[in-house]
Amino acid sequence: MYASDNIWRPFTSLVSKSKPLKIVKAEGLYLYTEDGNKIADLNASWWVNIHGHSHPYISEAIRKQLEKFGHVMFSDCTHEAAETLAKKIVNFLPQNHKKIFFSDNGSTAVEVALKISRQYFYLKGEQRGRYLAFHGGYHGDTFGGMSAAERNVFNAAFRNLLFDTFLIPLPDDDKIPDILNTIEIEHKKNPFIAFIYEPLVQGAAGMKMYEARYLEQIINRCSELGILTIADEVMTGFGRTGTFLASDQMKSKPDMVCLSKGLTGGFMPLGLTSVSDKVVEVFENENPMHTFYHGHSYTAYALACSAAAANIELFEKENTLQKVQRMESAYRNCILQLRGVSGIQNLRCKGGIFAAEADIQNYKGEDYLNPLKGKMQEYFLERGMLIRPLGNTFYLIPPYCIREEEIYSAADCFRNFVEGLER
């Protein structure tokens, strides 16, 4: 049996034969295992790492905070780390977002947004009962996050306990008129609280990319109808789509933004939800019903806030978004190389994300449980690269310190893998 015998791993069967890699050190792009292997972290440790592992600037910021204290209760106290972070992050958020609510992770950042939006209408005396979201959406593993998402294998056991969400397809040229119509008709029948979406790229659905101009039309329609908008930028934030936020690629801005994953550069768990003035105003009232009764023990965890502030400073110091641009050009070269290779479909990239489907007769289907996933992962691992495909979707979402050659080797590896599959 394995050394981790009494540990229940996330998204992993309890009878899985796969042995976790025991990591003893991580630096830049690479993870170092107990048995002496060096492995490229092409998955940025589940999409969280930004500048590379063990970046000395972030490590130092945490160390400095540790000399003062680790954590204090945030309901009655405050501290410099949280205040500095809040001041820095508002510069990267929509202009009318002045309030930041801290929590622990992406799911909690989403819960906070879902709850604030519902309480907003409650306080205005409007009994709205459902949310609007995209098919294929993923918003975390808590009940709110599951409820606002696609119904699938992740949440099947909880189906009848999830609250009501109306799902619309991802927009394209053909679908957009119908989507805009449906929103209006459904809103009249049973008004929506908020529209929650992963802007430009749906992560867990298989790095599905869609165009900003269609999303913008949906956001505008929601605003016209008085439906709040929540950009779940948990995955897309911090440069992943080429701009600091994916929402930066649109003129219309959401009422709330959820951030987590890349927020601390991948060093510490932390989530935050930013809220627009229009929503905040309704809570500015002495009546106790207007208080937002939500808080986690580690709200605004000081060590994590210090890491997040350092992470944001690095974006300026190291011109990080330019690195993402260079990654995107390398991805474009990969697309040219792989285009037309039999069994490789839907080559695409956006910012720091590259994706394609392996489309092979024996392994049809986008199902998360497609056995191709395990085969592909093993093939890459034997060649010193850690990936985590979503069904038959291969993708790269590495830390931004990756070099072009390292991107090209990963793309070659994908090609060799697909070409070597039995048909």
Ligand X SMILES: *Cc1c(COP(=O)(O)O)cnc(C)c1O
User: Which stretches of the chain bind ligand X, using CB under 6 A?
Assistant: 105-107, 110, 138-140, 198, 203-204, 232, 234-235, 260-261
Minimum CB distance to ligand X, residue 63 (Å): 24
Minimum CB distance to ligand X, residue 202 (Å): 8
Closer to ligand X at the Cβ: 235 or 407? 235
DSSP, collapsed to helix, strand or coil, labels residue 201 as strand
Query: HSE on the CB side for 299, CA within 13 Å?
Result: 17
Minimum CB distance to ligand X, residue 33 (Å): 24
Closer to ligand X at the Cβ: 234 or 327? 234
CA distance 254 to 135: 19
Minimum CB distance to ligand X, residue 106 (Å): 2
Closer to ligand X at the Cβ: 255 or 411? 255
**What does the block give as tokens for 27?**
């630096």
Minimum CB distance to ligand X, residue 109 (Å): 7
CA distance 304 to 339: 42
Closest-CA residue to 114 (of 148, 160, 149, 152): 148
Closer to ligand X at the Cβ: 138 or 394? 138
Q: What share of the chain is helix, strand, coil (3-state, %, to 5)?
A: 40, 20, 40
Closer to ligand X at the Cβ: 20 or 371? 20
Farthest-apart Cα atoms in the chain, separation: 68
CA distance 126 to 120: 9
| C-alpha 288: how far from chain center | 34
Which element (helix H / strand E) includes 323? helix 320-338
Minimum CB distance to ligand X, residue 389 (Å): 16
Residue with tokens 């069904």: 391
Position of minimal CB gap to ligand X: 106
Closest-CA residue to 216 (of 255, 247, 242, 238): 247
Minimum CB distance to ligand X, residue 77 (Å): 25
Minimum CB distance to ligand X, residue 41 (Å): 17
Asked whether 139 and 110 are in contact (CB, 8 A), the reply is yes
Minimum CB distance to ligand X, residue 138 (Å): 6
CA distance 2 to 13: 14
**What does the block give as tokens for 297?**
């023990």
Helices 176-189, 212-225: inter-axial angle, 10-degree rounding: 20
Closer to ligand X at the Cβ: 30 or 400? 400
DSSP letter, residue 207: S
Closer to ligand X at the Cβ: 30 or 43? 43
Closer to ligand X at the Cβ: 203 or 351? 203
Closer to ligand X at the Cβ: 233 or 417? 233
For strands 97-103 and 271-276, give the pairing: antiparallel
